Amino acid sequence: MRLRLRGGTNVRLAGRPAGGIDVAGDAASLYLPLASRRLRFSDLRIRDGQAVRPGEVLAVDPSHFGVPLLAPRGGAVRVGAVEGHVLIENAARAEAVQAPEGEKRERLVRLGAWPFIEDAHTGGVPDPASEPRAVVVSTLRLEPFGARGDALLAGRLEVLERGLEHLQSLLEYQPTYLVVPEAESALAEEIHETLRGHAWLEVVTVPLTYPFDHPALLARRLGLMAGAGGPVWALRVEGVLAVERALGAGLPVTERVVALGGPAIASPRHVEAPVGYPLEAFLADVTGGSEAARVVNGGALTGQTVPASQRGLDAECAGLTVLAEPRERELLGFTRPGWSRQSYSRCFVSALRRSFDEPIEASLRGEKRACVACGACETVCPANLFPHLIHKALYRQDLDEAERLRVDLCLGCGLCAYVCPSKLELHREFVEAQEALRAEHAAAAEAREAPA
């Protein structure tokens, strides 16, 4: 099946990680953050000074079905020594604690694989007791930079196949869609050949254009709309591999493959490391020194700046994008012809060049200006929205009008802000509007259910 999609564009950013996967060296101490993008491990299950083995539960997130934070190495734990972290001292490899036999979904939770599954429409952690309408598995990661499917799958297609079979065993009759690139490549051919004959699996092809790998967009185009008949589970390659490790080998999932990329990295690459691995070790080859760089957890368009207080790799990180911080303001930057700058509107002289990777910095390159109604945001929007009109409604603080314009359908891909010549923070505006609408609807529902 080939999906028909609109909008989108490719973001050419210097610092694309190489395809292989390096293994991080051993670290004497691991710093496990008690918070990540979605999870908050507030219920500690260990005491200060306790000796733990790999796979042992350190803390759980009570608001997300008891998803655990697992010890990736053995050692002595320190609680409170580093604020917001559990510290494992004298970290050493040892035999992992295996989970006892039991119901498969419970094992995925206990072994740390469940957070790799997300609700395609909300991005949240789905209820393990829920029955999905379908499962969407993407082999693509198109935002710069996250752990790429082709790097993760090199020599591991049989593991992918077993993981998909384990996923199917969790379902009854629901379909599984495998999303692969619409391109001729040896890997794509191998995937088709390896998975030939699985009647329950439907292969879907999409162009290599960002954000055509977005779970919500894929679900909508497959006719799996939000709020109609249960959740849609979404996974990427690392999620399928985590499912196979948990259900096939019965082992805890405590390692992450992280794409370390961006213009400020001397050797962009993929690195396999345990959760809690010291960030300073990841950033040892930052050009110009880490104090002159901005480290982003996730992609350059949608990631969040890593707080200065974070010491180790968090439990959900799939990529660290490092951008140089400009030390000086560019004098008369607006007069520069832009030979080394990309422009969606092709207004720079770089339009005369072939496509190239831009060594972008962590700056807006100019002061913010008012919307000029150029329509570029509308052209790239994969959700078929009118971002400039939504922006104007929000500028007037008219949340009802923004809702009428369907800001709730925004994917949060960040392309509108990327192509905006005025550098409006559309991505942030729309995410905040969605949060406000959810809070407003929740309050209204609570009021309706309250006794008279």
H, E, C per residue of 314-374: CCCCCEEEEEECCCCCCCCHHHCCCCCCCCCCCCCHHHHCCCCCECCCCCCCCCCCCCCCC
Question: What is the distance between the alpha carbons of residues 150 and 143, in angstroms, rounded to a whole number?
Answer: 14
The domain of 429 spans 364-443
DSSP helix/strand/coil, 29: strand
Residue 191 lies in a domain: no
Largest Cα–Cα separation, the chain = 69
Q: Is residue 270 part of a domain?
A: no
> Cα(385)–Cα(389) distance, rounded to whole angstroms?
9
Residues 412 and 343 in one domain: no
Q: Are residues 355 and 378 in the same domain?
A: no
Assess if residue 431 is contained within a domain.
Answer: yes
Query: pLDDT value at position 288?
Result: 55
Q: Do 344 and 396 belong to one domain? A: no
Backbone angles phi, psi at 296, to 5 degrees: -110, 130
What pLDDT score was predicted for residue 366?
54
Final residue of a structural domain among 359, 379, 411? 359
What pLDDT sits at residue 215? Answer: 97
pLDDT digits (tens, 9 = 90+) for 124-174: 999 999 999 999 999 999 999 999 999 999 889 999 999 999 999 999 889
In this structure, are 375 and 433 located in the same domain?
Answer: yes
Same domain, 368 and 423: yes
In a domain, 322, yes or no: no
The confidence score (pLDDT) of residue 328 equals 64
**Inside any domain, residue 346:** yes
Given a contact cutoff of 8 angstroms between Cβ atoms, the answer to whether 224 and 204 are in contact is no
pLDDT < 50 positions in the chain:
none
Task: List, as one string, the DSSP characters of 180-201.
Answer: EESS--HHHHHHHHHTTT-TTE
| Per-residue pLDDT at 53 | 93
Domain-ending residue, one of 341, 359, 377: 359
Note whether residue 193 is domain-resident: no
